[in-house]
């Protein structure tokens, strides 16, 4: 039986470029060589595309995904001429801007090659936290109170009740996020967020436990992983900001399965399912929530291409539910090719 020709896209021009490479390396280590023939397409921080021998951007031939569905795959430059490589499925391992926001998914749609993960609308919707909140509210899910600040807007620091979080509306991980406890620091926090996005959110600080739920599937046919809880020693959770995240964070650890009651566990999982469907997600998502003292939940954010590194939350939650990363990859590819989990 022929192996599935799978294009794995990694790197990218966003601030999450290094994380994407780590995710691609982890996936490469769990890819069944008997089932898949991988083609690694690395994207540099300058936006150049290369066909690489593995999840490493140190070398490679210039390549691109053809928007012509007749090609159904890659155009690779070799000695002044383009050769074609037909692909069966695409697996993006790209985080943040131009990878997780619908831009790459639009190219995938034009190529005609089936791909893993959310489509253009759901990717764009989940990347913009303010739009995510609006859809969540329409589905009956609570969100923090927030205000949008655009590039042309001034900020009246006296109009907010502190503390607040200031964050880019359309950026990944915790880049550009600040916790502000008083009026003096608000302007600086907004300028920090504007380094990553012209659209900024100022939202109320929520008192509660941060929990997450990994979701895999389409429509009504969904698998959810074990819940995790972010245990903080101080400050606030800042993912991918550490110098060496593989060795742990200076202020947080993950408890998987989360040390919460069965009723809270069921509520978190059902809320994650509801949000995955309401936002039009397919394939995979990681839904991050706040578990409040009264037992209710509130949305934090939804990631449509969560990290797949050795220390990432999504594969840990799935592994705790009995699905190792190799099986998660198989299910995601099956979903992309057939629309069904099995």
Chain segment 34-58, per-residue pLDDT in tens: 999 999 999 999 999 999 999 998 8
For residue 82, the Cα-to-chain-centroid distance in whole angstroms is: 33
Q: Is 50 exceeded by the pLDDT of residue 241?
A: no
Query: Residues 186, 157: contact at Cβ < 8 Å?
Result: yes
- Residue 240 bears catalytic tag: yes
In this predicted structure, the answer to whether residue 17 has a pLDDT above a threshold of 90 is yes
**11, 12, 19, 36: the active-site residue:** 19
Is residue 326 within 8 Å of 28, Cβ to Cβ?
Answer: no
Catalytic residue among 133, 196, 311, 314: 311
Write the CA distances from 25 to 20, 35, 40, 270, integer angstroms.
9, 18, 10, 32
Q: Annotated catalytic, 19?
A: yes
Counted residue by residue, the chain has a size of 342
Whether residue 41 contacts residue 7, with contact meaning beta carbons closer than 8 Å, is answered with yes
Q: Are strands 4-11 and 89-93 parallel, antiparallel or unpaired?
A: parallel
Q: Assign 278 a pLDDT band (cuts: 50, 70, 90).
A: very high
Burial letters 178-197, b for 16+ CB under 10 A, else e: bbbeeeebbeebbebbbebb
188-200: average pLDDT: 93
Cα angle vertex 268, ends 265, 274, to 5°?
Answer: 140
310's CB contacts (< 8 A; 6+ apart) are 22, 26, 246
Query: Which one is catalytic: 5, 286, 313, 316?
Result: 286
From the candidates 17, 167, 170, 240, which is the catalytic residue?
Answer: 240
Residue 286 known to be catalytic: yes
172 assigned to active site: no
Q: What is the pLDDT of residues 137-180, one digit of tens each?
A: 999 999 999 999 998 888 899 999 999 999 999 987 678 999 99
What is the pLDDT, as a whole number, of residue 342? 78
**Domains with residue ranges and CATH for the chain:** 4-115 (3.40.50.20), 124-143+207-338 (3.30.470.20), 146-204 (3.30.1490.20)
Q: How far is CA 330 from CA 2, 32, 196, 335, in A?
A: 15, 9, 34, 9
| Residue 308 confidence (pLDDT) above 90 | yes
Q: Which of 17, 95, 129, 313 is catalytic?
A: 95
- Which of 88, 129, 89, 94 shows the shortest CA–CA distance to 14? 94
What is the C-alpha to C-alpha distance for residues 275 and 273, in angstroms, rounded to an integer?
6
pTM score, two decimals?
0.91
Burial class (CB in 10 A: 0-12, 13-18, 19+), 159: exposed
| Whether pLDDT at 247 is above 80 | no
User: Is residue 30 within 8 Å of residue 325, measured between CB atoms?
Assistant: yes
Catalytic residue, chosen from 22, 129, 199, 229, is 22
Of 11, 102, 217, 307, the active-site residue reads: 307
The confidence band for 234, taking pLDDT boundaries of 50, 70 and 90, is: very low
Give the pLDDT score at 158. Answer: 92
**Average pLDDT score, the chain:** 92
Q: What percent of the chain has pLDDT over 90?
A: 84
**246 is an active site residue:** yes
Q: Is the pLDDT of residue 59 over 90?
A: no
3-state secondary structure of 249: coil
Active-site residue (options: 246, 263, 293, 342): 246
The whole-angstrom separation of Cα 275 and Cα 123 is: 13
- CB neighbour list of residue 71: distance below 8 Å, 6 or more residues apart: 84, 86, 111
CA pair distance 274, 340, nearest whole angstrom: 19
d(CA 135, CA 282): 16
CA distances from 242 to 94, 238, 247 (A): 19, 8, 9
Q: Is the peptide bond before 7 cis (omega within 30 degrees of 0)?
A: no
Handedness of CA 180, 260, 323, 270 (dihedral sign): negative
Per-residue pLDDT, averaged over 214-223, amounts to: 95
Q: What is the pLDDT of residues 69-109, one digit of tens each?
A: 999 999 999 888 999 999 999 999 999 888 999 999 999 99
């Amino acid at each position: 039986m022929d192996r599935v020709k799978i294009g794995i896209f990694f790197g990218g021009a966003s601030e999450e470029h290094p994380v994407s490479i780590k995710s691609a390396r982890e996936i490469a280590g769990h890819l069944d060589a008997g089932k898949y023939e991988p083609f690694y397409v690395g994207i540099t921080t300058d936006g150049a595309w290369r066909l690489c021998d593995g999840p490493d951007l140190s070398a490679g031939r210039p390549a691109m995904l053809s928007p012509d569905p007749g090609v159904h795959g890659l155009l690779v430059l070799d000695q002044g001429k383009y050769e074609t490589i037909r692909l069966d499925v695409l697996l993006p391992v790209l985080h943040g801007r131009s990878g997780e926001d619908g831009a790459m998914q639009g190219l995938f749609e034009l190529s005609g090659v089936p791909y893993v993960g959310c489509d253009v609308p759901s990717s764009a919707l989940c990347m913009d936290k303010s739009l995510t909140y609006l859809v969540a509210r329409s589905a009956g899910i609570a969100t923090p109170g927030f205000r949008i600040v655009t590039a042309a807007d001034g900020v009246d620091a006296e109009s907010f009740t502190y503390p607040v979080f200031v964050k880019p509306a359309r950026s990944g991980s915790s880049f550009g996020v600040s916790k502000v406890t008083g009026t003096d620091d608000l302007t600086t926090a907004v300028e920090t967020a504007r380094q990553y996005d012209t659209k900024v959110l100022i939202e109320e600080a929520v008192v509660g436990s941060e929990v997450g739920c990994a979701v895999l599937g389409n429509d009504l046919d969904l698998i959810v992983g074990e819940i995790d809880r972010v245990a903080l020693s101080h400050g606030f959770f800042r993912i991918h900001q550490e110098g060496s995240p593989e060795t742990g964070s200076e202020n947080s650890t993950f408890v998987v399965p989360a040390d919460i009651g069965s009723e809270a566990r069921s509520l978190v999982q059902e809320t994650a399912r509801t949000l995955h469907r309401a936002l039009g997600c397919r394939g995979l998502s990681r839904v991050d929530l706040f578990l409040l003292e009264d037992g209710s939940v509130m949305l934090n954010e939804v990631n449509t291409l969560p990290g797949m590194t050795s220390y990432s939350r999504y594969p840990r939650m799935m592994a705790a539910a009995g699905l190792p990363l190799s099986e998660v990859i198989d299910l995601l590819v099956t979903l992309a090719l057939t629309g069904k989990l099995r």
